[in-house]
């Protein structure tokens, strides 16, 4: 006698749940028959409130079952199996939806981004939070705008709550939403600076510094959205100008392996530091502090040279005499060009 397995029932529940959310929002959900399933369960298309297609397609891999949910770590996970290359090379964005029956809800993860960030793992694993919950309300306010390349459609109050969360994903979403949706609200800049101040350098997302760099600006910022008004820039500039030596040191510690070059986090850090009135004296203190690492002192000298040019030579020569090849090269540039112009 044939048996209708419980696993098939649970799988259908997840697919039907996802279909109801997407179609309930007026978007298109095209399920792929199981015999044609190579690693994607559905192709979906966004449709706006007027019924017009938004020209955004995305693929879904749908998992359903309590076994995919770890209650202790509040995370979801599933095996990549043989699908890594298939998902990574798929021509449209690929998201996984994990429906958890015991919670009567689902959570999502950007599969292609996960694979890019975790090239060696055999399992997709992600924490669950408000930012990646998949239900009717979150689909409209978070997921759909995200797929369309817009900021989440949430209030200032909710954005602030996310920014103050203990979950890093929620913090990132909150900060991004504050900047994209409320760039001329002074509370936005209060919160951006607050998060920078209270976190250790290793806990600060690099994009936060890129956001702050919109105030002094630099040549590789590509900004799209509501113009930041002069009064807002003035307010934010005063917040950044209040940074002390400990803040400067924190910024220097955030310079990654790309160093200070066009398009790097380091470029944004240089722009922020050199917009601070007291920065030269703070940088000189760091350069002269033999208890600091040579990498940190060199970064301080690099940024001082960008701002002060010839005036930075005594400090550059001090580090060069201590074995800094980088400072040797900067000295040559300063002498030859009467300044230091690393982005030209």
Q: Answer yes or no: is 266 within a domain.
A: no
Quote the domain boundaries for residue 87: 1-153
Q: For the domain that residue 16 is a member of, what is the CATH number?
A: 3.40.1350.10
Q: What is the pLDDT along the chain (344 residues), one digit of tens a residue?
A: 565 455 566 789 999 999 999 999 999 999 998 766 678 999 999 999 999 999 999 999 999 999 999 999 999 999 999 999 999 999 999 999 999 999 999 999 999 999 999 999 999 999 999 889 999 999 999 999 989 988 789 999 999 999 999 988 899 999 999 999 999 999 999 999 999 999 999 999 999 999 999 999 998 998 878 899 999 999 999 999 999 999 999 999 999 999 999 999 999 999 999 999 999 999 999 999 999 999 999 999 999 999 999 999 999 999 999 999 999 999 999 999 999 999 98
pLDDT of residue 8: 61
How far is residue 110's CA from residue 95's CA, in Å, rounded to a whole number? 5
Q: Answer yes or no: is 208 within a domain.
A: no
Beta-carbon contacts of residue 58 (< 8 Å; ≥ 6 apart):
43, 44, 46, 92, 93, 94, 95, 147
Return the CA Rg of the chain.
25
Q: Answer yes or no: is 328 within a domain.
A: no
Q: Answer yes or no: is 8 within a domain.
A: yes
Q: Answer yes or no: is 39 within a domain.
A: yes
- Alpha carbon dihedral 226, 230, 233, 237, in 10-degree steps, equals 170
Residue 3 has a CB neighbour count (10 Å cut-off) of: 6
Phi first, then psi: what are they for 135, rounded to 5°?
-140, -175
CA distances to 73, 171, 272, 293 from 164, in Å: 20, 6, 23, 32
| Pair of tokens at residue 230 | 């002069």
pLDDT of residue 35: 64
- Report the domain count for the chain: 1
Beta-carbon contacts of residue 21 (< 8 Å; ≥ 6 apart):
106, 134, 135, 136, 139
Q: Answer yes or no: is 7 within a domain.
A: yes
Length of the chain: 344
Q: Answer yes or no: is 124 within a domain.
A: yes
How far is residue 270's CA from residue 76's CA, in Å, rounded to a whole number? 39
Q: Answer yes or no: is 129 within a domain.
A: yes
pLDDT of residue 33: 83
């Amino acid at each position: 006698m044939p048996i209708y397995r419980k696993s098939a029932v649970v799988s259908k529940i997840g697919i039907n749940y996802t279909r109801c959310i997407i179609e309930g929002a007026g978007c298109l959900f095209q399920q792929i028959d199981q015999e044609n399933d190579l690693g994607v369960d559905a192709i979906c298309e966004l449709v706006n409130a007027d019924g017009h297609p938004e020209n955004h397609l995305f693929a879904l891999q749908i998992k359903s079952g309590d076994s995919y949910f770890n209650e202790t770590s509040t995370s979801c996970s599933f095996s990549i199996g043989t699908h890594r290359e298939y998902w990574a090379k798929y021509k449209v964005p690929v998201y996984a939806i994990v429906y958890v029956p015991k919670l009567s809800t689902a959570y999502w993860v950007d599969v292609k981004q996960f694979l890019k960030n975790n090239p060696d793992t055999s399992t997709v694993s992600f924490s669950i939070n408000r930012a990646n919950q998949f239900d009717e309300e979150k689909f409209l306010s978070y997921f759909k705008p995200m797929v369309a390349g817009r900021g989440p459609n949430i209030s200032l109050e909710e954005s602030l709550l996310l920014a103050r969360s203990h979950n890093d994903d929620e913090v990132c979403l909150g900060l991004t939403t504050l900047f994209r949706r409320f760039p001329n609200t002074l509370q936005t800049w209060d919160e951006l600076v607050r998060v920078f101040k209270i976190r250790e350098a290793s806990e600060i997302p690099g994009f936060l510094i890129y956001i702050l760099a919109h105030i002094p600006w630099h040549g590789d910022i590509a900004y799209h959205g509501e113009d930041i008004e002069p009064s807002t820039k003035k307010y934010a500039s005063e917040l950044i100008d209040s940074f002390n030596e400990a803040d400067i040191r924190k910024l220097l510690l955030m310079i990654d392996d790309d160093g200070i070059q066009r398009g790097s986090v380091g470029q944004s850090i240089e722009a922020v530091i050199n917009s601070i009135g007291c920065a030269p004296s703070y940088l000189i203190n760091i350069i002269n502090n033999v208890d600091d690492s040579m990498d940190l002192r060199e970064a301080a000298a690099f940024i001082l040279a960008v701002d002060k040019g010839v005036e930075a030579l005594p400090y550059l020569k001090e580090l060069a005499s201590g074995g800094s090849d980088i400072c040797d090269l900067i000295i040559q540039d300063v002498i030859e060009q009467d300044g230091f112009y690393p982005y030209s």
